[in-house]
């Protein structure tokens, strides 16, 4: 019985689409331009006659179909124009249209002339607050910003929030309208179809890429193939970045070196090839190290499409570009490993923290500096039982491409700038820096008093 009901629901859905899209004469194959224009006008009139909620639902279905098509085209023919259309359709489908659906809900709120004024005020206030919160969750990720409210939801993919307004709109519409044009099952079916089609397209493209790479003999050729495909299917932009969301990258392909590294590692892990993300935290760049025949090699899809190079080659090219590499780390699980000495000559920096002439264990030490007019921080280090941390820095000899920059790192302990600096010549020297926090605090208090 249940299966019959589902079958009837699917039939109703296709009948609805048939009645909506087919002209009365069933003249799909237009023989003249006049026929085409007539059919188009007929479709527009049919669309115009629909209630607003159904217009939004139908628009969502059409946008999902178009998005699926351009996701497929981006993987098949990665032209710049196709990538931009792909991003535009994604924006319309997962951001603009759901926001429109949410704010159309005001049509179903009680009228202002309702005698129960307090009831009306509460309803409108709730709609305004809910809409504001929705915008704060949804729109910051478009510009690469964290969500301002509900910080626990930052790690939820932002494109999942479109599930809130569209079904809510359809539910309110079906309950408030005395007679609906389409049944609830038809509307639910259309919504499910619109949700599934882009995601199934992404899954198919992903499996196709894996299958093509798997068919290649030799890990090095597979790595080269993945590096090429990541570069080809990506649109480099600071707008609407995918961050660490692999599925979102497959859907729109936006980002920079960080996204390329994340996606390359995800592909390689599926191919059982060991890889890890390498970061230049002081110079704003990330790439991938891959283990081939027991040795680590570098893959940097954003710079060298399909190339597999040595650590020395990568360091030389980066130094030719900006003049220096100061610090290199590889991320392994939830920790990191320093690799600076594997890439460039270094100086050893020994920082010892004391408080009242006693070693301070567990102090958080962060080195910060200015690079390309922005502040960048090295990963936090923590002092050992002797109050000491040891790190290795390459020479901070940046060229004009790195302007504005600081040729040193400011040492911050437990969130406070101590006024101490760490620098390096890359000549193997050892720099011992003793920081007495009691003296540092008194100095900072005096400086604050003078400033005030």
Say yes or no: 161 and 260 in one domain: no
Residue 415: what pLDDT? 87
Residue 39 in domain: no
Query: In this structure, are residues 374 and 284 in contact, taking their beta carbons and an 8 Å threshold?
Result: yes
Query: Does 289 lie in the same domain as 179?
Result: no
Q: Is the domain of 311 the same as that of 394?
A: no
Residue 41 lies in a domain: no
**Cβ neighbours for 45, distance < 8 A, ≥ 6 positions apart:** none
Residue-level pLDDT at 254: 85
Which helix (H) or strand (E) element contains residue 199? helix 184-214
40 occurs within a structural domain? no
Query: In whole numbers, what is the pLDDT of the chain averaged over residues?
Result: 79
- 275 and 356: one domain? no
Residues 329 and 377 in one domain: no
Amino acid 167: pLDDT: 80
With 0-12 / 13-18 / 19 or more C-beta atoms within 10 angstroms meaning exposed / middle / buried, residue 261 is buried
Instruction: Tell me the CATH number at 362.
Output: 2.60.40.1120
| Structural domain count of the chain | 3
Dihedral of alpha carbons 92, 228, 317, 292, sign: positive
pLDDT digits (tens, 9 = 90+) for 169-208: 777 777 776 666 677 788 888 888 888 899 999 999 999 9
Structural element, H or E, at residue 186 = helix 184-214
Q: Are 71 and 198 in contact (CB under 8 A)?
A: yes
What tens digit of pLDDT does each residue of 217-228 get?
889 999 999 999
- Give the residue numbers spanning the domain of 184: 50-200
Tell me how many degrees the CA angle 56-61-65 measures, rounded to the nearest 5: 145
Distance CA 326, CA 281 (A): 9
138, 166, 200 — which closes off a domain?
200
Q: What pTM did the predictor assign? A: 0.77
Residue 11 inside a domain? The answer is: no
Whichever domain contains 238, its CATH number is 3.10.620.30
User: Is pLDDT at 295 greater than 70 in this prediction?
Assistant: yes
The overall longest dimension of the chain from CA atoms, in Å, is: 94
333 lies in the same domain as 356: no
Give dist(CA 399, CA 1) in Å, integer: 75
pLDDT digits (tens, 9 = 90+) for 305-352: 889 999 999 999 999 999 999 999 999 888 899 999 999 999 999 999
Final residue of a structural domain among 312, 340, 368: 340
Whether residues 76 and 159 share a domain: the answer is: yes
List the one residue out of 233, 217, 99 whose CA is nearest residue 166: 99
Please say whether the dihedral angle defined by the alpha carbons of residues 405, 409, 413 and 419, taken in this order, is positive or negative: negative
Residue 137 in contact with residue 156, Cβ under 8 Å?
A: no
Torsion, Cα of 128, 133, 139, 144 (10° steps): 160
CA distance 251 to 235: 12
Dihedral sign of CA atoms 159, 160, 161, 167 in order: positive
Instruction: Convert the pLDDT of each residue in 81-127 to its tens digit.
Output: 888 888 888 888 877 777 777 767 666 655 555 555 555 555 656 66
> Are 222 and 332 part of one and the same domain?
yes
Share of the chain above pLDDT 70, in %: 71
233 closest CA partner among 246, 219, 218: 246
């Amino acid at each position: 019985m249940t299966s019959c009901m589902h079958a009837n629901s699917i039939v109703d859905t296709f009948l609805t689409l048939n009645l909506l899209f087919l002209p009365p004469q069933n003249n799909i194959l237009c023989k003249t331009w006049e026929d085409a224009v007539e059919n188009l006008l007929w479709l527009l009139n049919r669309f115009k006659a629909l209630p607003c909620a159904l217009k939004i639902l139908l628009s969502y279905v059409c946008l999902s179909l178009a998005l699926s098509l351009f996701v497929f085209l981006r993987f098949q023919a990665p032209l710049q124009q196709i990538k931009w259309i792909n991003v535009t359709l994604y924006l319309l489908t997962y951001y603009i249209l759901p926001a429109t659906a949410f704010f159309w809900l005001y049509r179903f709120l009680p009228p202002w002339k309702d005698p129960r004024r307090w009831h009306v005020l509460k309803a409108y206030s709730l709609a305004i607050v809910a809409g504001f919160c929705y915008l704060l969750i949804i729109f910051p990720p478009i510009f690469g910003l964290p969500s301002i409210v509900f910080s626990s939801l930052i790690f939820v993919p932002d494109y999942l929030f479109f599930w809130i307004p569209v079904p809510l709109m359809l539910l309110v519409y079906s309950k408030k309208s005395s007679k609906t044009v389409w049944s609830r099952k038809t509307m639910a079916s259309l919504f499910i179809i619109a949700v599934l089609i882009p995601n199934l397209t992404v899954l198919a493209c992903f499996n196709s890429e894996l299958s093509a790479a798997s068919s290649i003999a030799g890990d090095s050729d597979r790595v080269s193939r993945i590096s090429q495909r990541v570069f080809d299917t990506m649109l480099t932009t600071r707008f609407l970045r995918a961050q660490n969301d692999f599925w979102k990258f497959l859907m729109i392909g936006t980002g920079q070196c960080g996204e390329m590294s994340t996606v390359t590692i995800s592909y390689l892990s599926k191919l059982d090839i060991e890889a890890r993300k390498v970061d230049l935290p002081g110079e704003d760049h990330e790439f991938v190290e891959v283990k081939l025949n027991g040795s680590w090699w570098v893959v940097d899809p954003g710079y060298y499409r399909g190339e597999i190079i040595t650590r020395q080659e990568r360091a030389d090219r980066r130094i030719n570009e900006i003049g220096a590499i100061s610090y290199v780390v590889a991320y392994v699980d939830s920790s990191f490993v320093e690799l600076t000495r594997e890439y460039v000559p270094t100086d050893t920096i020994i920082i010892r923290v004391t408080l009242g002439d006693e070693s301070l264990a567990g102090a958080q030490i962060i080195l910060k500096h200015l690079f390309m007019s922005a502040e960048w921080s090295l990963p936090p280090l923590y002092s050992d039982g002797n109050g000491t941390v040891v790190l290795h820095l390459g020479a901070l000899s940046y060229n004009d491409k790195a302007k504005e920059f600081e040729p040193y790192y400011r040492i911050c302990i437990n969130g406070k700038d101590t006024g101490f600096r760490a620098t390096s010549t890359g000549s193997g020297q050892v720099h011992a820096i003793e920081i007495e926090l009691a003296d540092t605090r008194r100095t900072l208090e005096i400086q604050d008093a003078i400033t005030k």
